[in-house]
Amino acid sequence: MNVVLTIGVGSFLGIVGALPSAYLFELALRKVRPVSVASGLASIMFSYIMLCAAVFVVWLVSRENALPFGVAETVSFLLVWAIEAWRGWHDAQRGVGSGERKRGESTRRSQRGDGRTR
């Protein structure tokens, strides 16, 4: 198997493996509908099983291409989540999804001595 093809397929499957959880993250970020913990765990388990199965199949078929495939898969998976993390951080700074903050309004909540918010 060609190494360039191996890296391309690994990158594609890494992105596909990240999509279920990224979709749920976008739903939660935009508050389109409530996202349950069970659906989040199911998407994580699907991603893990799919990514591991893909690496295992490549290892069975072509052991010399397992490392480039696995690295490409992992890098593309992490790249999707780096983009999602940036989007979540950026939206949190702007106040999107949790109600708009007024200009100059602090994001900190004051706390009582017992740890509860006021």
Among all chains, which residue has been given the structure tokens 């989040």? 40
pLDDT in tens, 45-58: 999 999 999 999 99
Q: Which residue segment(s) compose the domain that 30 sits in?
A: 3-94
5-22: b or e for each residue (b if 16 or more CB lie within 10 Å)?
A: ebbebbbebbebbbebbb
Q: Is residue 82 part of a domain?
A: yes
Compute the residue count for the chain: 118
**Amino acid of residue 23:** Y
Mean pLDDT (whole number) for 58-70: 94
Q: Is residue 11 part of a domain?
A: yes
Q: Is residue 117 part of a domain?
A: no
Distance CA(22)–CA(12), nearest Å, equals 15
Residue 19: name the closest of 68, 66, 84 by CA: 84
Cβ contact 11:72 at 8 Å: yes
Domain count, the chain: 1
Mean pLDDT (whole number) for 29-33: 82
